[in-house]
Amino acid sequence: MNLVKLIQLLIILLNFAPPLLKGAGGIAQESKVQIFSQNLDLSDITIGDKITYTLVVEHDKNTQLLPPKPLVMASEHFEAYGPEVKPLKSKGKQRGRILKSIEYKLVAYEPGAYNIPPMVIKCRDANGREFSVMSQPLGFSVRSLRSNDTQTIRDIKGPEGVPRNITPYILIWGIIIVGSSVAVYCYFRRRKSAIIKPEAVILQHLPHELALEELREIELMGLVTKGEVKEYCTRIADVIRRYLEKRYGIVAMELTTAKVLASLEIILARKDAIVVNEGGSHLCQREIDKIGDFLNACDSVKFAKYQPSADEAGNLLQQARKIVEVGR
C-alpha cells in the first residue's frame, strides 16, 4: 500500500515540475535585464526643439546588450537620430550589475500629441541564447509657441504724410528713366551688330538613360568600399528622385518620401492620364510600393543613421536600376 502511494506522489511531481521550471527560467531571464527608466529631457516642447529620449537599461555582467534598432516614429513630421549607447556609473545597485543609457534625438516640425512606441531591447546571455525586454510607450505634446514668447499685438500705424520737398524724388526718378533709356538703346544696338552664330546641337537624353548612366558612375566610385555608405545612399536616392521628376512631372527633390508616393498615386488614379511607356510597361500600385520601399531604406540610412552591410548596399543599387528599367 505504501508503494502505491509513493508511485502516485512521483506521478504528481512529474506533472507539475516542468511548468514550475519554465516559470523560474522566465523570471531569471527578466532579472538579467531590466529597463531602469525612460524619459524626455524637455517638459515644455515646441516646434524645432531637439528632444533627447533616454532609456536606462540595467543588466548583469554576463549578459550582452545587442545593438538597439533606430527609433521609427509614426508621424512624418519627426526626424529621429540615434541610437547612442553610453555606459553609466552604478547607483548603488547589486554588485555585478551594469547601467547603460540608450539615447535618441528627436526633432518635431508640427504641433500635436505624439507617442513614442515601445522599444524592444534584445540581449544575449552567457549561453548564447537571445531574449528581449520591452519599454512602455511614452506620450508627449508639441506646441507651436511658448507662452512667454507671445507678443502684444500693436495698433496699425497711420499713413505717413507726403513730404513737402519732392525735389530729391524727382531727381531719383529722372536718373532711373535716363539710365533705363541708355540701357535699352545699347541693348538693341548691340543686338543689330551681333553676328548670328549657328546654334550648337544639344543631344537630349531620355530620363531613364540619364538615370542609368548616373547609377553606373556611382557604382564605379566605390563609396561602399571606402565606408561612405551615407553618401552612397544619398546619391542613388537623388538619382531616383530626379528620374521621377522628369518621368512623371512631380517635384520629387523637394518632397518627403510620403508625399512623393502620394503624388504617384494621384497620377495613377487620374482617369484622364494613363501612364504607359513605349515598351508597354505602366505605373501601377506594385511599382509605387517598390519605389516606397527603396526610398524608405535610403531615408533610414540618411536620417536614422542605419548602417547597411555591403550586400544590402548593393541590393539598393539593383533596386534603383529595376525602378528605372520598369519605367522605361
pLDDT tens for 253-310 read 888 999 989 988 888 887 444 444 444 446 788 889 989 899 998 988 888 778 888 8
Q: Looking at this protein, which amino acid is placed at residue 218?
A: I
pLDDT of residue 242: 93
Q: What percent of the chain has pLDDT over 70?
A: 75
Q: Could you give the 3-state DSSP secondary structure of residue 137?
A: coil
The whole-angstrom separation of Cα 255 and Cα 253 is 6
pTM over 0.75: no
> C-alpha distances in angstroms, 26 versus 18, 19, 63?
12, 11, 15
Quickly state the pLDDT bin for 21 (edges 50, 70, 90): very low
> Are 287 and 314 spatial neighbours (Cβ–Cβ below 8 Å)?
no
pLDDT at 41 over 70: yes
The whole-angstrom separation of Cα 265 and Cα 269 is 6
* Most confidently modeled range among 29-38, 93-102, 210-219, 304-313: 210-219
Name the helix (H) or strand (E) containing 255.
none
- The x, y and z cell numbers of residue 175, run together, are 536718373
pLDDT of residue 217: 93
Q: 135: which residues sit within 8 A by CB, 6+ positions away?
A: 35, 38, 55, 118, 119, 121
